[in-house]
C-alpha cells in the first residue's frame, strides 16, 4: 500500500512540475518560436507590447449583426476589426520600434448573418459600410448600354445589371457583353409584371424563367431579384427566397425615366448618398450623360461596388 501511495504521489509531483514548466513564459516563448508563431513578450512590462495594446483600444471595432430593421428591413451584417497584438508585436520587435503602419489587423465575423434571417426585402447595405452600388434595371434602352459600359470600364467600376428575361432572350450578345465586362447580373422578372398582383406560384415562375434564360445564355445564375417598378408584396419576397435569392430595392432613385437634365440627376443622387446606398438607374440618355460625373463625385467618399459585394460582411477600409 505504501509503495502504491508513493508511486501515486510521485506521479502527481511529476504532473505538477510538467504543468508549471509548460505554463512558464520562457517555455511558451520557446515553443512559439520553434513553431513559427508570434510570441508575446516574456515580461508583461514590455513597453512595445503595451503600446500595441493601447492602439488596439483605438482601432478595434465590434462586428455588427445582420438585422431586420423596422424601417430598412433586412440589413446585412458587417465584420468587426481588431489588431492582432501578437503578430503586430512580432513585426515591430524585429524593427525595434513601434510603427503604426506595421499593425496587423484581422476581421471578426458577426454572430448573425443574412442567411439566418427570414425573407425580407433589402434596401441598403450595412450603414457602417462606406459603399455605394449602382443597380441598373434593363428591359429597354439598348442604345445607352454600350456608352454606359464604356464609362464604367474607363473608371474600373462594376455595377449590378438587373435584366428582364425577355430582354435577355432578344439581346443575348449584349447580355454576354455585360458579363464579359465583369458586371454582376440580377433578375428583373420575365415579362415585367406588377409582382404584387401575382400569386406565389406565378411569382416563382416569373423569377425562375428569367434565371433559366440568363443562365442558359450567360452561364450566370443570379442571386438577386429586383422587382419591376419596385412593386412587391410578401409573396414576391417569399418566391425569391424559395429560389435561393434576395429581393433588392434601393435608397436613392435617379428617376431617370423622367428624362431629367444631367445636372438635375447628379444633384438628386449626390445629395442623398449615404453609407451602404443602393442607387437605382436605367439605361437612359440622362444616366448615360451623368454617369462619369456621378462616379468621380461618389468615389471621393465611397467605394463603388456591385450589390452582392456590398451585401457581404467584408469591410472596406478607406
Chain position carrying cell 467584408: 314
Secondary structure (3-state) at 135:
strand
Secondary structure (3-state) at 69:
strand
Cell of 30: 520557446
Higher pLDDT pick, 58 / 290? 290
Average predicted confidence (pLDDT) for the chain: 90
- Does the pLDDT value for residue 311 go beyond 90? yes
Cell of 178: 455585360
Average pLDDT on 66-85 reads: 96
Q: What is the pLDDT of residue 202?
A: 98
Q: What is the pLDDT of residue 4?
A: 59
157 within 8 A of 295, measured Cβ to Cβ? yes
- Does the pLDDT value for residue 2 go beyond 90? no
Q: Model confidence at 284, in pLDDT bands (50, 70, 90)?
A: very high
Q: Per-residue pLDDT tens for 230-269? A: 999 999 999 999 999 999 999 999 999 999 999 999 999 9
Cell of 159: 455595377
187 within 8 A of 224, measured Cβ to Cβ? yes
Distances (CA, A) of 85 to 78, 89, 252: 22, 6, 40
Torsions phi, psi for 253 (to 5 deg): -115, 125
Q: What is the pLDDT of residue 6?
A: 62
Q: Can you tell me the distance from the alpha carbon of 88 to that of 113, in angstroms, rounded to the nearest whole number? A: 29
211 within 8 A of 222, measured Cβ to Cβ? yes
132 within 8 A of 298, measured Cβ to Cβ? yes
Average pLDDT on 67-83 reads: 96
Higher pLDDT pick, 231 / 39? 231
Q: Can you tell me the distance from the alpha carbon of 220 to that of 55, in angstroms, rounded to the nearest whole number? A: 44
Partners of 247 in the β-ladder: 225
The CA-to-CA distance between both ends of the chain, in Å, stands at: 72
Percent of the chain whose pLDDT exceeds 90 = 81
Q: Can you tell me the distance from the alpha carbon of 62 to that of 39, in angstroms, rounded to the nearest whole number? A: 25
Q: What is the pLDDT of residue 235?
A: 97
Cell of 216: 442558359
Q: What is the pLDDT of residue 30?
A: 44
Q: What is the pLDDT of residue 87?
A: 93
Q: Per-residue pLDDT tens for 23-32? A: 554 444 444 4
Q: What is the pLDDT of residue 57?
A: 84
Q: Can you tell me the distance from the alpha carbon of 250 to that of 279, in angstroms, rounded to the nearest whole number? A: 6
Q: Model confidence at 16, in pLDDT bands (50, 70, 90)?
A: low
265 within 8 A of 233, measured Cβ to Cβ? no
DSSP 297: H
The C-alpha torsion from 141 through 146 and 152 to 154, rounded to 10°, is -150
Task: Count CB atoms within 10 A of the CB of residue 103.
Answer: 18
- Does the pLDDT value for residue 174 go beyond 80? yes
Q: Per-residue pLDDT tens for 114-127? A: 999 999 999 999 99
Q: What is the pLDDT of residue 139?
A: 98
Q: What is the pLDDT of residue 26?
A: 44
Higher pLDDT pick, 184 / 97? 184
Chain position carrying cell 430593421: 69
- How big, in percent rounded to 5, are the helix, strand and coil portions of the chain? 50, 15, 35
- Does the pLDDT value for residue 318 go beyond 90? no
Task: Count CB atoms within 10 A of the CB of residue 101.
Answer: 5
Q: What is the pLDDT of residue 56?
A: 85
Among the ranges given (37-51, 59-73, 98-112, 232-246), the one the predictor scored with the smallest mean pLDDT = 37-51
Percent of the chain whose pLDDT exceeds 70 = 86
> pTM of this prediction?
0.83
Amino acid at each position: 500500500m505504501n509503495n502504491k501511495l508513493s508511486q501515486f504521489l510521485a506521479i502527481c509531483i511529476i504532473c505538477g512540475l510538467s504543468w508549471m514548466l509548460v505554463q512558464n513564459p520562457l517555455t511558451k516563448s520557446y515553443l512559439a518560436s520553434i513553431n513559427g508563431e508570434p510570441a508575446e513578450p516574456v515580461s508583461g512590462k514590455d513597453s512595445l507590447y503595451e503600446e500595441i495594446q493601447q492602439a488596439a483600444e483605438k482601432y478595434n471595432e465590434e462586428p455588427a449583426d445582420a438585422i431586420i430593421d423596422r424601417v430598412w428591413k433586412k440589413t446585412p451584417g458587417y465584420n468587426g476589426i481588431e489588431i492582432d497584438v501578437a503578430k503586430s508585436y512580432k513585426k515591430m520587435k524585429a524593427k525595434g520600434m513601434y510603427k503604426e503602419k506595421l499593425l496587423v489587423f484581422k476581421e471578426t465575423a458577426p454572430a448573425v448573418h443574412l442567411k439566418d434571417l427570414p425573407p425580407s426585402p433589402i434596401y441598403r447595405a450595412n450603414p457602417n459600410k462606406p459603399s455605394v452600388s449602382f443597380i441598373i434595371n434593363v428591359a429597354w434602352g439598348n442604345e445607352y448600354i454600350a456608352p454606359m459600359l464604356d464609362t464604367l470600364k474607363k473608371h474600373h467600376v462594376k455595377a449590378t445589371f438587373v435584366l428582364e428575361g425577355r430582354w435577355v432572350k432578344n439581346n443575348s450578345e449584349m447580355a454576354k457583353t455585360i458579363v464579359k465586362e465583369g458586371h454582376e447580373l440580377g433578375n428583373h422578372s420575365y415579362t415585367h409584371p406588377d409582382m404584387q398582383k401575382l400569386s406565389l406560384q406565378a411569382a416563382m415562375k416569373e423569377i425562375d424563367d428569367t434565371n433559366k434564360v440568363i443562365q442558359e445564355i450567360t452561364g450566370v445564375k443570379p442571386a438577386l431579384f429586383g422587382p419591376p417598378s419596385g412593386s412587391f408584396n410578401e409573396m414576391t419576397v417569399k418566391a425569391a427566397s424559395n429560389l435561393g435569392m434576395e429581393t433588392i430595392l434601393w435608397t436613392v432613385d435617379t428617376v431617370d425615366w423622367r428624362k431629367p437634365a444631367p445636372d438635375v440627376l447628379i444633384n438628386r443622387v449626390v445629395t442623398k448618398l449615404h453609407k451602404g446606398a443602393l442607387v437605382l438607374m436605367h439605361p437612359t440618355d440622362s444616366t448615360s450623360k451623368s454617369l462619369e460625373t456621378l462616379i468621380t463625385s461618389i468615389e471621393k467618399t465611397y467605394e463603388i461596388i456591385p450589390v452582392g459585394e456590398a451585401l457581404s460582411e467584408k469591410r472596406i477600409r478607406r
